[in-house]
Amino acid sequence: MYTTKLTFLFALICLVGFAQKKKYEIIEPPSKEIGDVLEKRMVCIYRNIYAPEARLRFFPFNEYKKIVLISFELPEASTDIVIYDTDKPLVNAPDKKEVDLPLLTKKQKLDQTRIKEKKILSTFEIDKLTDILYNFGYKSTKSYKGLRIADEGYSCYNPRNAIVFLDEKGLIAEYIEICFECRRREESSEKIKSGEFCTEKYDLIRKYFYAAGIKYGTNKSKN
């Protein structure tokens, strides 16, 4: 009986030790060979899969027809945006609160005072934008030795540009906020279909903004 208990205790200790070892197991980064293969697969190629009418079926292009390119500058950390409480009568010292108000807020109008440049897209320009988003994609999406391509951009995020979709009332319905410098973006909804962001995709969109007259945030020599 004593031997049986001792054997059970030893097995339990081994099991706990194995679980702890597995818990703190160091995950090695992919080898250079795997990294090189995946990097090559991230290169953009033009497939021309989607015709113009097919591209307009992707959300949010299928719901919102007024699309605007903008550039903007984020407030400095020391800058205070003051909002006065209009529900209370004005007195010599009105109630106020200091907030960091985001520029892009759904169901709100664009704050024109904070926009540096704006371009309302024509039908032709929307066609060019959707062509970049949906017809340029990864060279290959196949996994290699169990790993797939992934590019989360850099750790920084200082957005200066955005693609904004306005509803029939002129309010912000959806948006794709972009930091070309950091190769990152934020989308207002998980429903948004923005295509595959292959290696050159950010640069293609940046050049599209620049050609449309949006210079701030897209001119590499100045930003």
Residue 113 sits in which domain range?
A: 30-76+96-211
Query: Does residue 25 fall inside a structural domain?
Result: no
Count: domains in the chain: 1
CA dist 59 to 10, 49, 68, 174, 188, Å?
A: 59, 17, 16, 10, 12
Question: Which pLDDT tens digits describe the chain residue by residue (223 residues)?
Answer: 444 443 444 444 444 444 444 445 555 565 655 555 556 667 999 999 999 999 999 999 999 999 999 999 987 654 445 555 555 544 444 444 444 568 999 999 999 999 999 999 999 999 999 999 999 999 755 544 444 445 566 789 999 999 999 999 999 999 999 999 999 999 999 999 999 999 999 999 999 999 999 999 998 766 5
Query: Does residue 84 fall inside a structural domain?
Result: no
The pLDDT value recorded for residue 131 is 98
Query: Does residue 81 fall inside a structural domain?
Result: no
The pLDDT value recorded for residue 75 is 73
The pLDDT value recorded for residue 153 is 61
d(Cα 127, Cα 32) in Å, to the nearest integer? 39
Query: Does residue 65 fall inside a structural domain?
Result: yes
Q: What is the DSSP string of the chain?
A: -HHHHHHHHHHHHHHHHHHHHHHTPPPPPPPHHHHHHHHHHTSEEE---S-HHHHTTSTTTTT--EEEEEEE-PPPTT--EEEE-TTS---SS--EEEE---S--TTS---GGGEEEEEEPPHHHHHHHHHHHHHEEES----BTTB-------S-----EEEEEE-TTS-EEEEEEEETTTTEEEES-TT-------TTHHHHHHHHHHHTT--TTT-TTT-
Query: Does residue 178 fall inside a structural domain?
Result: yes
Query: Does residue 113 fall inside a structural domain?
Result: yes
- Residue 168 makes CB contacts below 8 A (sequence gap 6+) with none
Query: Does residue 61 fall inside a structural domain?
Result: yes
Query: Does residue 217 fall inside a structural domain?
Result: no
